[in-house]
Amino acid sequence: MDWIHIEGIRAQCVIGVHDWEKQSPQPIEIDLNLGCDLSAAGQSDDLTQTLDYKAITDDVLAWAQASRFELIETLAETLCQQLLDRYPLAQSVKMKLMKPHAVPYVGNVGLSIERHRGE
């Protein structure tokens, strides 16, 4: 399997279980690895044969910023499913989602998940 890497997507979204977290958007950071077959794109030099990382980044930003969840687990699960639904070439998504201001005196907290088409 081949991989498209998109690292350091920075978005603002309303996420958290505490009342203060639900009052205004907070920063999150997302790294993506999308598994797919890139051989056709490598041979054709044609953008339509690959995953457009600009379009993917724009979609992830829009989806994250429009979301309102309590848990980053729910946000990550939702984003992975939306990516698999929107981009048929993607066979799997590995996502690292970090919430830098979730815990005082801690640089980052977050999670990593991996989802595959057909799960």
List, in sequence order, every beta strand (DSSP E) within the chain: 2-15, 26-36, 68-69, 92-99, 109-116
Based on its alpha-carbon atoms, the radius of gyration of the chain, rounded to whole angstroms, reads 15
Q: What is the CA 27 to chain-centroid distance, rounded?
A: 14
- pLDDT confidence tier of residue 20, bands split at 50, 70 and 90: confident
Could you tell me which of 2, 7, 24 has the C-alpha nearest to residue 15? 24
What three-state secondary structure class fits 50? coil
Q: What is the CA 2 to chain-centroid distance, rounded?
A: 18
- Asked if residues 70 and 9 have their Cβ atoms less than 8 Å apart, the reply is no
State pLDDT tens for residues 50-109: 999 999 999 999 999 999 999 999 999 999 999 999 999 999 999 999 999 888 888 889
- Of 22, 94, 96, 99, which is the active-site residue? 99
99 part of the active site: yes
- pLDDT confidence tier of residue 18, bands split at 50, 70 and 90: confident
Strands 68-69 and 2-15: parallel
